[in-house]
Amino acid sequence: MKLVFATQNKNKVREIQALMPKGIELLSLEDIGCSEDIPETSPTIEGNAVQKADYVKEKYGFDCFADDTGLEVAALNGAPGVYSARYAGEEKSSEANIEKLLQELKGKEDRSARFKTVIALHFEGKLHSFTGICSGNIIFERKGSEGFGYDPVFQPEGKELTFAEMHLQEKSKISHRARATRQLIEFLASREP
């Protein structure tokens, strides 16, 4: 079964391909000749995932899925949320985003946060949705060199390490994206003949 993952982010493709069963061949946007920036103009994480999946289905005709992820910080009323990738500006700099987040949290006792991933799947003419949540805390300084985005400052609940200090296999057991992806895989497996 061929399925398009509507993303240009090679880190996401690598993470999700590692979780896919052998019977599912994951195609990237590059593989189907899609090089344009897919709009993400929804005010919600769910809306952005659906918008990207709709775009690929309508323009290219493939069964596909798209995800959107946000970091929701309790003391910041859920910010950066849907704006996580461009929290510090349109250039989407992870370093600048982390710096802004740490500045915004200065002096705040509550450092609880959660990553939320929503996957929207167009499959056999229907739209399906899967959500994964990983709760934790924002630590005071960057730790680790693995992963991407806010991983150096996010410490999952019950863990001593940040996402950026974990190997991909360890992160893939507990991450928000892994949780949503497992639901996607279970759904796809249940549809196989």
Question: What whole-number distance in Å separates Cα of residue 141 and Cα of residue 72?
Answer: 18
pLDDT number for residue 92: 86
Q: Annotated catalytic residue: which of 31, 63, 68, 110?
A: 68
Report the number of distinct structural domains present in the chain.
Answer: 1
**Domain harbouring 62, CATH code:** 3.90.950.10
Asked if 134 and 115 touch (Cβ cutoff 8 Å), the reply is: yes
Question: What whole-number distance in Å separates Cα of residue 138 and Cα of residue 147?
Answer: 15
Binding-site sequence positions for substrate: 7-12, 69, 148-151, 171, 176-177
151: CB partners within 8 A, 6+ apart: 144, 162, 163, 164, 171
pLDDT number for residue 51: 95
68 is catalytic: yes
pLDDT number for residue 162: 97
Neighbours of 122 (CB within 10 A): 23
Q: Name the pTM for this structure.
A: 0.89
pLDDT per residue as tens, the chain (193 positions): 888 999 887 777 777 777 777 778 889 999 899 998 888 899 999 999 999 999 999 999 999 999 999 999 999 999 999 999 999 998 889 999 999 999 999 999 999 999 999 999 999 999 999 999 999 999 999 999 998 899 999 999 999 999 999 998 899 889 998 899 999 999 988 876 5
pLDDT number for residue 149: 94
What domain range includes position 46? 2-191
Binding-site sequence positions: 7-12, 68-69, 148-151, 171, 176-177
